[in-house]
Structure 1
Amino acid sequence: MQNSVKYCLLLFLLISCAQIQTEAQTVYITKTGRKYHKETCRYLNHSKYPLTLSKAKERGYEACKVCKPATKTTGAKVDSDSTKIIVSPTPPKVVKAVRCSAKTRSTGSRCKRMTKNANGKCWQHQ
């Protein structure tokens, strides 16, 4: 009888330790960033998507230099439920700034401001 109780306690402790290691491997990404973060990082104010550390590294994400999340994976197996929440399958595209395509009203020359808007015009010429 006492042996079965001991085995149950041992089994419970092993499962608990495996869950703690799995939770420690969860990192968070943002909708548009290229870094992974701890849950408490200040850069997660606007968007936060959970991801396993190994998946984040596979997808090309790097560790945040502000919150300094874990960079090495432990040997624990990751629960399959934690991978179902992932929203962003690939790192976001990089949008390059271009020169505004509008002409100024005063001189008729091309605007010198840079923009990342899809229409190619700066904030003043939209």
Structure 2
Amino acid sequence: MKQLCYIVFTLFLLTTSNAVSQTVYTTKTGEKYHKSYCKYLKYSKKEIKIDKAISLGYKACKVCKPTSKNTKVNDSISQTISSKPKHEKTTSTKRSSSVQCSGQTKSGRRCKRKTKNISGKCYQH
């Protein structure tokens, strides 16, 4: 009887470990994994399991904070986020004043272009 309980418990753990394997998303060139509604998945989105993403060396996004506990998102939540009205104010990706680009040219010098991009880099970098 004790062995039967052990076998059932082991099977339960095996089936739940597959269910816990959550789906996260990566970008083509990125080094981080994200939740389905993260703003960094705007242009590219590749579906992957969280345990595989970690084993491949991907790190968790600091914006959407995906973990194995909170990556499972209800469809209703993701739909309400993605169906936000266009007239609502979104966070700005531009600075109020221009700064010098922090990128480097092929010769190794600092780029001389100005940018208002929040990343501090011009359109070429």
TM-score class, shorter-chain normalisation, is: 0.3 to 0.5
Q: Structure 1-normalised TM-score?
A: 0.42
Q: Which has the higher strand share?
A: 2
The structure having more radius of gyration, on CA atoms, is 1
